[in-house]
A and B are shown apart, each in its own frame.
Chain A
């Protein structure tokens, strides 16, 4: 493959297989038996709160941290014992790690030099400069570049070697907000144009959903759930995933009955709701966490709902109205409603009616 004809057929992207990987720093288990696959040309996002082991997992794929257990394969060949300089993995570091004593062109040519790859006329460097729209920056020093430009140089420096896998660690976190939204789209387009198997680390679920084909949610070093953004959003397997992927509202209830893959939740108002339930069914009377997407909640000024609430505040946001509610059955709740004349005013009480999809029950 060359970058110039990246989209032409014949380019074969790499299949990445991560199996039972454990990575420890002394007593800390940063990555705890994580397994997943990334298909050729797929963009996978690794998301999770800070310190959950995302960077550590990237470093073990790159070979920068030796793994303690499990294996990592590219196209079926184990690479976990291969030294980083032989793995042909491209990584863009969180702070870009450009060589401060080399100009942009020299930064990009560095990998070719280390591999002893001749670049007659500087064509490969020129191609990748063009791909990333930074031709005019070739002779500039890294400390004269903006954050966005540094990121492009870091990408160019990696892509010029046509690596098997592209690893991006929090690629947008150092950019300002406006640029971040533009770069999301551009990064995704770039990875798809080059056709490279890509793993993006982020702690921002919006970013993950916008850029990735599939998302893997990590917590405390373990993989919580993996799937397409819509799968995680519509069918979270744990309360953590429900709360991490997309916004969620939190209510308390007790189990009034459990039968074939479902529970009946009873709210403080006495109202009941039957919901599907994954895993071991809870006993009658056990506490339940009920998580509901904003769009699964209807606000009724009167009549019968599941939860009684009081409007604390309401904000007109253009396409929707945001209601801030105090409820008897949960934390303060923020709900987006379609603007309508009969929405309750601050100080008034109302009823919340929950309806699947978008309502999930978990053992508390």
Chain B
């Protein structure tokens, strides 16, 4: 019984995605299950559109940078919050968690206003700043949880065995929180890669992939985006599988 229910739930959750994948092989230019045959024409069409290629590049680059920098800053902040009592500790907490509460539309708009005031004209830098603000709360949350489960006596023990404070972190703490960091990076990458609403305010001529897709469906209504979405799903699935294979997903999420 419970099995049947959970199967139904999974089907219900997966249905739209399955429909998209089916549509991507359609022979006609309408969405829907292709009863009358399969074709790869929409996949071919993808490559005639340069906005998708440049959008993918921008999105991957942006998500990659936001992930690396965000995880470094976020882990350091989590470290400070968990291990030390200092004035302003609550402030860090609030600052980092703030973006979780502010609606994305408001965040995008306020970024636009702020960056205009600061006359920062470089789109990629602006986008990176925005995406850092977006990914940081998640990284900090995940890493705070991880560090709280790591016994602080481990670092103390390492020091008494002759490790400098820095070596104690490198040889003991980092390997122990590596799994959690991988989880945080995965989460950050996905958050940044998928972001649409706030990003919309800052793009100019260069569009990220979600925005390129949006711009496409505003004028066209053929299954090209279904083909793109299918490829993205496969890509994401690949990343998740690879990570869970390397780390054990249960432990990444835990």
Contacts and interface: CB of A to CB of B under 8 A. Distances in A.
A111 B160 CA distance: 8
Given A100-B176, A114-B167, A93 B157 contact: yes
B11 interface: no
B161 to A, nearest CB: 4
A100 B173 CA distance: 10
Contact of A84 (B154, B159, B167): B159
Interface string B145-173: 00000010110111111111101100110
A114 B159 CA distance: 9
Interface of B: 151, 153-154, 156-165, 167-168, 171-172, 175-176
Interface residues of A, number: 25
Q: Is the interface of B mostly helix, strand, loop or mixed?
A: helix
20 contacts: A64-B156, A84-B159, A85-B165, A85-B168, A90-B160, A91-B156, A93-B153, A94-B153, A95-B151, A95-B153, A97-B151, A99-B154, A101-B176, A110-B158, A114-B161, A114-B167, A114-B171, A157-B157, A158-B161, A161-B161
A84 B165 CA distance: 9
B162 A85 contact: yes
A85 B163 contact: yes
Contacts of A100: 176
A97 B163 contact: no
A62 B156 CA distance: 9
A287 interface: no
Contacts of B165: 85
Contacts of A89: 160
Looking at A83, A110, A157, the one whose CB has the most chain B CB atoms below 10 A away is A110
Contact of B153 (A97, A114, A157): A97
Contacts of A63: 160
A312 interface: no
A85 B153 contact: no
A171 to B, nearest CB: 14
B172 A91 contact: no
A161 B160 CA distance: 10
Given A97-B151, A97-B154, A91 B176 contact: no
Nearest to A65: B156
Contacts of B175: 101
Given A62-B160, A95-B153, A110-B171, 13 more contacts: A63-B160, A64-B156, A64-B159, A85-B160, A85-B165, A91-B160, A95-B151, A97-B151, A97-B156, A99-B158, A99-B172, A157-B157, A158-B161
A93 B168 CA distance: 16
